[in-house]
Every structure is written in C-alpha cells, then in structure tokens.
Structure 1
Amino acid sequence: MGKRKEFLCILPDRPNSLSIRKKVKGGHYEGIQPLIAQGQLVDGGAIFREHPEEGKEERFEGSVVVYAAENVEEVRDIINRDIYATSGVWDIDKAQIFPYVPAVREPISKP
C-alpha cells in the first residue's frame, strides 16, 4: 500500500433528487462509518443553495467530501460505491475531484 493523499470532491446532486436523498440518508451515514474509521473519509458535508433555516425546507445542491486515498481511481471507486451514487442522488458525471493539501483543519464551534 502506498502513501495516501487527500482529494477534495464536489459531488452535485441530480435535479429533483431530494426525496431519494432523504430516503437513503441513513444508509449513507452507515456506509461512511468504515471509511471514517479507516481514515479514508477525512471531512465532508452537504452543499446548500443557502444556509438552512429552521422551519424551511433545505435546498441541497450536493456534497463536498475530502477522501484520503492512494490515487484518483481509488477515490472514484469509493464515490461510486456510496449509496448516494448508486441510488441516483449524486450526478457522478458532474463530479469534480481535485488533489488537495489542507492548510488549516480546525472545527468551528457550534452556537
């Protein structure tokens, strides 16, 4: 096994996929747990049209994820196995994967 590098991935949602996203969200969270435990999923979260507000429906645009892998092919394999990809939430044809080197990695405090 070679040295892992980080990759920043922008994974847009397909149009009108919100109901699928909600339906498979639990499976997505379950599926990423081993990746987190193995250090392959470094960071990630949802992308929104605007910050969610209480009482209003969230307007998802997709996901942003930082994966640690040996190469981009391994990253694509991880993405393609995610339930968000296999169920049609993510528009894999529009996925962007960039080599990434973090400069700062500090959590922000929640209010």
Structure 2
Amino acid sequence: MPYFAVYAPDYTDEGAIERRFKVREAHLANAAKESRMKVGGAMLSPNEALDTPNPPEKKMIGSLMIFEAESYAEVKELIENDVYWTGDVWDKEKTEIRPWVSPKSLQ
C-alpha cells in the first residue's frame, strides 16, 4: 500500500490555539484508533526551540502525519473528517497531502 505525508499547518489567527486545545483530546483519541496513520504529531514553533539552551516557549503550530492507505482520496477523507479540520484548527488552504516513499519501501 502507498504512503502519504500530510502537512497540516494551523490557522494563525488570534483564536487558533484555543480552537486546537478545545478539540485536542478528541483528536488524540481518534488518532490513537486510526491504524492507517503510521506516525503523527505536532509541529512546534519557533524552529530553533530545540537547539537553544534556554528556548522560548514552544507552541503547537500544525501537524505532520504519515499514512499508509489505498489512495489519496482515502487520506483526504480521513483528514477532512478529523476534528482539527472540522473545528477550523488546520488551515484548509495550506494543508498538503503528498505521496511519500521511505528508503525501506524501495528495497
């Protein structure tokens, strides 16, 4: 089965982080049950936060996921049914779904 990488940045308006936290538990519960998602997690800002001795406060700014699925349409449906999508957390204009190949799958 093919793999797909999903880059889903959050909206950046003033209420975006509050919307994320409002539906976060439901999002995590659903993600834990989704066998087609092989890895996923939050992207953090600022980019250098992990490289500095006294990093500024990290905040979630989006999500990155890898799915194993039959088709792009299947992954698109999963994303569009996620509470981060329906709850206006992920930026619908900037979310990307791309075919992804791991070095192991090429062997």
Instruction: State the TM-score, normalized to the length of structure 1.
Output: 0.77
CA drift of 1:58 comes to: 3.1
CA drift of 1:7 comes to: 0.3
**Corresponding residue of 2:79:** 79
CA drift of 1:98 comes to: 1.2
Q: 1:78 aligns to what SS in structure 2?
A: helix
CA drift of 1:79 comes to: 0.2
Q: 1:90 aligns to what SS in structure 2?
A: coil
**Corresponding residue of 2:45:** 49
Superposed CA deviations along residues 34-92 of structure 1, whole A, max 9, x for unmatched, are 21xx3x000111111223799x6432221100011111111100000111001000012
**Structure 2 unmatched ranges of 5 or more:** none
Root mean square deviation, CA, Å: 2.1
Q: 2:90 aligns to what SS in structure 1?
A: coil
Is 1:5 aligned to residue 13 of structure 2? Answer: no
Q: Which runs of 4+ in 1 moved over 3 A?
A: 51-54
Instruction: State the TM-score, normalized to the length of structure 2.
Output: 0.80
**Corresponding residue of 1:107:** none
Distance 2:97 2:73 in 1: 10
Q: Percent identity?
A: 29
**Structure 1 segment 1-111 matched on structure 2, within 5 A:** 4-16=1-13, 17-35=16-34, 38=35, 40-50=36-46, 51=49, 57-103=57-103
Change (3 A) 1:19 1:46: same
